[in-house]
C-alpha cells in the first residue's frame, strides 16, 4: 500500500508540515527510518533521531516544537502513539487470509460464516458457530457448542474448550488455552484430593486481545468473564470464576486466583499476583511483581510491593530501608 502524507493526515485528523505529496509504503522505527517509510516520535527520549532520520514522514504530537532542522515531512496529531497504532492498521488492511486449507475437520451441525479462513489441521466441534470473517489458523482446536464472533483471529495452536464464547474482533495468540479446568480440589479425610468438576465456561467479550500461552480457566459454575477491550499479555493465568473488567490491561506472567474481580481500566504490571476472592476497584494500578492479598475499595489506587500497599507508603518505606542498608555497610 502507498499513502501520501496528506492521506495519512486526513485519516488521523492531523496537519501536514512539509510536502503533502510525499509517498510512504511502510512503517519503521525512527532510528531506522529510510526514504519511503513513516516513523513516529512520541517519547522525547528519541528526539535526537528526528534530526537525522531519512524517513519521508514522521508523526509527532501537535504541540511538539523541534529544536533543529528536520528533513522529513511532519504530520502533527493529538497523540502520536495512538496515531501510529491506527496507521499500522491502515497498512495491514488486506493481509487477512481467506479460504479453507486441507485437511481440516468440521463436525456436524457446526455453522461457518462467510469469508472465514480455516487453516490446515484446524478442528471445529459439533454445534459450534464461527462468525463472518473469522480467521482460524492451522492446528486450532475448537470444541463443541463454542461461539466465535465475526472478525476474530485465532492464531496457530489455540485451544478453545467446549461451550466457551468469544466475541467479535478478538485476537488470541498462539497456544493460548481458553476454558481449561479450574484448579479446584476438595481435601478428603484420607489426605487425598477430590477433583471438583468444572461445569461452567469462559465468556470473552468483543475487542479483547490475549497473548501467547495465556490460560483462562473455565468457571466451576457460571462463567469466567473477560470484559470488552481487555488486553492480556503472554503467559498469564486467569483462574476459574475470575472477572476482568472492561479495558483492563495485564502484563506478562501475572496471575489472578479464583473468584477475584478486577474493575474496569485497571493496569497490572508484569509478574503481579492476586489472591482469590478479592474485589479490585476500577482504575487500580498494580506495579510489577506486586502481590495483592486484600480487596481494593478506592478507585484509582496505585499499589506496589509484596504484600502490595499504597505506592506512597511503599516509597517512604523503601527510602527508610535503603537508608538503613547504607548505614550497615
User: What is the C-alpha to C-alpha distance for residues 88 and 318, in angstroms, rounded to an integer?
Assistant: 41
Per the CB < 8 A criterion, the answer to whether 163 and 144 are in contact is yes
The residues, any chain, with a CB within 8 Å of residue 181's CB and separated by 6 or more, are 198, 217, 218, 240
H or E element that contains 232: strand 231-232
Instruction: Provide the 8-state DSSP code for 18.
Output: S
Tell me whether residue 21 is one of the annotated catalytic residues. no
Per the CB < 8 A criterion, the answer to whether 246 and 262 are in contact is no
User: What is the C-alpha to C-alpha distance for residues 239 and 88, in angstroms, rounded to an integer?
Assistant: 33
DSSP assignment of 104-160:
-EE-TT-EE-TT-EE-TT-EE-TT-EE-TT-EE-TT-EE-TT-EE-TT-EE-TT-EE
The residues, any chain, with a CB within 8 Å of residue 199's CB and separated by 6 or more, are 219, 220, 221
CA distances from 236 to 32, 142, 155, 307 (A): 32, 21, 17, 20
User: What is the C-alpha to C-alpha distance for residues 119 and 142, in angstroms, rounded to an integer?
Assistant: 12
Q: Which candidate in 21, 173, 240, 277 is catalytic?
A: 240
Alpha helices in the chain, H assignment, sequence order:
5-12, 47-50, 80-92, 311-327
Unique residue bearing C-alpha cell 480455516: 118
Q: Which residues are catalytic?
A: 240
Amino acid at each position: 500500500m502507498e499513502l501520501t502524507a496528506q492521506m495519512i493526515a486526513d485519516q488521523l485528523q492531523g496537519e501536514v508540515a512539509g510536502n503533502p505529496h510525499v509517498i510512504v509504503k511502510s512503517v519503521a522505527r525512527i532510528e531506522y527510518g529510510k526514504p519511503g517509510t513513516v516513523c513516529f516520535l512520541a517519547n522525547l527520549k528519541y528526539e535526537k533521531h528526528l534530526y537525522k532520520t531519512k524517513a519521508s514522514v514522521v508523526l509527532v504530537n501537535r504541540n511538539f516544537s523541534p529544536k533543529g532542522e528536520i528533513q522529513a515531512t511532519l504530520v502533527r496529531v493529538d497523540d502520536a502513539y495512538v496515531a501510529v497504532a491506527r496507521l499500522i492498521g491502515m497498512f495491514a488492511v488486506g493481509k487477512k487470509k481467506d479460504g479453507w486449507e486441507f485437511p481440516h475437520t468440521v463436525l456436524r451441525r457446526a455453522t461457518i460464516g462467510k469469508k472465514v479462513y480455516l487453516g490446515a489441521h484446524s478442528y471445529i466441534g459439533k454445534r459450534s458457530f464461527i462468525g463472518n470473517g473469522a480467521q482460524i489458523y492451522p492446528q486450532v482446536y475448537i470444541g463443541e457448542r463454542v461461539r466465535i464472533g465475526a472478525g476474530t483471529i485465532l492464531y496457530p495452536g489455540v485451544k478453545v474448550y467446549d461451550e466457551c464464547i468469544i466475541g467479535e474482533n478478538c485476537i488470541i495468540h498462539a497456544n493460548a488455552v481458553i476454558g481449561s479446568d479450574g484448579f479446584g480440589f476438595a481435601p478428603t479425610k484420607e489426605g487425598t484430593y477430590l477433583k471438583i468438576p468444572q461445569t461452567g465456561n469462559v465468556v470473552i467479550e468483543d475487542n479483547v486481545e490475549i497473548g501467547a500461552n495465556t490460560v483462562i480457566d473455565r468457571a466451576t459454575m457460571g462463567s469466567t468473564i473477560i470484559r470488552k477491550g481487555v488486553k492480556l499479555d503472554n503467559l498469564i493465568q486467569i483462574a476459574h470464576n475470575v472477572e476482568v473488567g472492561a479495558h483492563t490491561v495485564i502484563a506478562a506472567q501475572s496471575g489472578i486466583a479464583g473468584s477475584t474481580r478486577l474493575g474496569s481500566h485497571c493496569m497490572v504490571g508484569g509478574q503481579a499476583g492476586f489472591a482469590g476472592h478479592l474485589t479490585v476497584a476500577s482504575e487500580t494500578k498494580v506495579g510489577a511483581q506486586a502481590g495483592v492479598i486484600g480487596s481494593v475499595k478506592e478507585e484509582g489506587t496505585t499499589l506496589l510491593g509484596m504484600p502490595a500497599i499504597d505506592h506512597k507508603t511503599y516509597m517512604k518505606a523503601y527510602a527508610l530501608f535503603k537508608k538503613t542498608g547504607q548505614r550497615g555497610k
